[in-house]
Structure 1
Amino acid sequence: MFNLHFDTVAGLLLVLIALGIISHNNAITIAACVLLIMQQTILANYLPWVVRNGINVGIIILTIGVLSPLVSGKIQLPEFSELLTNWKLIAAIVVGIFVAWLGGKGVSLMTLQPALVTGLLIGTVIGVAFFKGVPVGPLIAAGILGLVLSVTD
């Protein structure tokens, strides 16, 4: 049942678990625990599926969480005329478009230059663990890095 192959990745996951506990960040702790359990058990057979679909599943769950207050009635949709006249709503739409585009660039960069993923993940974990960030950062970080790299190339 247990694979018990302790390698560098398992060590990194243990460090992430410790960082998550120290920083009181349940997202890091739970994610690293789940992945360590998967790596060390027969669940390792499902890791290729997680690699292929994990980001999409995560984005779906995140989107459900963001939309749920709207669906539950906790927040109300603004009137259409307000969308066109309220500068804060217009700014929110523009920023939302920009961040979605940036995230798309991040996915491309992570696919084309996977070696950079390690640095992005370490930076994101530090941001989540010590600066009260949220772990959606790798896509945006990769998008920003892609912009910086394209300017310097």
Structure 2
Amino acid sequence: MAATFGQAGILLLIIILLGLAGRNYVVAVAAGALLALRLLPGEELFPLLERHALNIGIGIITLAILIPLAKGGIGWSELYGTLTSFSGLVAVATGIFVAYLGARGVGYLTIQPQVIIGLMVGTIIGVAFFRGVPVGPLIAGGMVALVMQLIGSGK
């Protein structure tokens, strides 16, 4: 039996429109797919998607980033040159910090799930209107956790 459009459908439609207005078709397609699942007999897939979609998405992003390595475009000399340069060391430090923030974000969003609403709105605005890429909610969650810890306002 098909679900009703409801509040979730309206919000997904708004996200589709924001994605189209900001010419970010990835957001529009993602929201459209979820809207289709909601309206068609596919809503039972939501728990499965909640459990696995993030890891699958991170896996696909990681795959895309590793393609130059797999194609042979990055070898030992490039790796050594990068890891011994100032910008390479900054990149390593930044990667460590971002991984740390991402882990903090997962933990914080688990105990403060309402924060994800603000992160979603900010991510949608950033993607739709500032040509951002929607890969930062976990890092943003980690930044929220860090700020909240610094000001002593919650776990």
- Give TM-score scaled by structure 1 length: 0.92
* Matched position secondary structure for 2:20: helix
How far the C-alpha of 1:85 sits from its partner, in A, is: 2.3
* Matched position secondary structure for 1:24: coil
Structure 1: 4+ residue segments shifted above 6 A: none
Larger RCO (alpha carbons 8 Å, 6+ apart): 2
Unpaired runs of 5+ residues, structure 1, are none
- Show the counterpart of 1:64: 63
User: Identity of aligned pairs, percent?
Assistant: 40
Equivalents in 1 of 2:150, 2:65: separation in Å? 33
* Matched position secondary structure for 2:42: helix
Unpaired runs of 5+ residues, structure 2, are none
CA-to-aligned-CA distance 1:37-68 (integer Å, 9 cap, x gap): 11111111110010111111111111111111
- Show the counterpart of 1:76: 74
CA-to-aligned-CA distance 1:116-139 (integer Å, 9 cap, x gap): 111110000000001111001211
- Letter matched to residue 108 of structure 2: L
Equivalents in 2 of 1:59, 1:86: separation in Å? 27
Equivalents in 2 of 1:56, 1:134: separation in Å? 17
| Residue 28 of structure 2 is aligned to residue 17 of structure 1 | no
How far the C-alpha of 1:69 sits from its partner, in A, is: 2.2
Aligned pair in 2 of structure 1 residues 82, 32: CA closer, same or farther (>3 Å)?
A: same
